Amino acid sequence: MTTYTFSEARQKLSSVLEQAKDHGEVLIKRKDGSLFVVKPVSSKRSPLDVSGVNINLKADEIVDIIREVRER
């Protein structure tokens, strides 16, 4: 796990966030010795949760296309 000083983290915020994304978490240490953890928040959405696409086809047209593809 990577540890940055507060000053380094402030100057390299983009790098700190990328490091946290790639490795799970990053520590930031202040002058007084206190430590903080920066870690990405996991998405609660499924990667399969995608919006539909309207292709203006009726159900029987879709069935015909699928049958045609299966015959190949």
Provide the whole-model pTM: 0.58
**Amino acid in the structure at residue 16:** V
Do the Cβ atoms of 63 and 50 come closer than 8 Å?
no
What are the pLDDT digits (tens) for 2-60? 999 999 999 999 999 999 999 999 999 999 999 999 999 987 888 888 888 888 999 99
Q: For residue 25, what is the DSSP state?
A: -
d(CA 5, CA 35): 9
Domains and CATH numbers, the chain: 1-41 (3.40.1620.10)
pLDDT confidence of residue 49? 86
What are the pLDDT digits (tens) for 42-53? 878 888 888 888
